[in-house]
């Protein structure tokens, strides 16, 4: 009886997940996390960088099917030490091949 009450409570509260990839939707909230509703279907936000919006002051790239701001790196005068082995941070990191 206790288990039946728990199942019934879940059904009443409407605890459901969003729609999966390629399922019908009306709004972004209808879709699973990391999906958007486009033309009535849940899809990934992007597949290529060109799918992402661009502006004069910010470039977006597609990473794991999401449009995210492109990270240009720290604007630090000390970052360029002139040492090729220092890496972009200037802290002595080296790529090993």
List all residues 6 or more positions away from 56 whose beta carbon is below 8 Å from its beta carbon: none
- Whether the CB-CB separation of 18 and 32 falls below 8 Å is answered with yes
Separation CA 35–CA 67 (nearest Å):
11
Q: Which residues in the chain come in under a pLDDT of 70?
A: 1-16, 72-97
Query: The whole model's pTM is what?
Result: 0.53
Q: Using a pLDDT cut of 70, give the percent of the chain over it.
A: 57
Q: pLDDT tens digit string along 22-46?
A: 999 999 999 998 899 999 999 999 9
Could you state, in order of their start, the residue ranges of all structural domains in the chain? 16-69
pLDDT at 3: 52
Separation CA 75–CA 56 (nearest Å):
19
The closest of 70, 60, 67, 58 to 35, measured between CA atoms, is: 67
pLDDT at 17: 72
Residue reference for tokens 């990473």: 63
Separation CA 71–CA 88 (nearest Å):
13
């Amino acid at each position: 009886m206790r288990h039946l009450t728990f199942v019934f409570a879940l059904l009443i509260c409407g605890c459901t997940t969003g729609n999966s990839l390629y399922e019908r939707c009306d709004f972004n909230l209808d879709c699973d996390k990391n999906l958007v509703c486009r033309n009535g279907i849940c899809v990934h936000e992007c597949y290529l960088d060109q799918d992402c919006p661009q502006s004069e002051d910010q470039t977006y790239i597609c990473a794991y099917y999401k449009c995210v701001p492109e990270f240009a790196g720290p604007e630090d005068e000390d970052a360029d030490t002139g040492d090729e082995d220092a890496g972009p941070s200037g802290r002595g990191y080296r790529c090993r091949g």
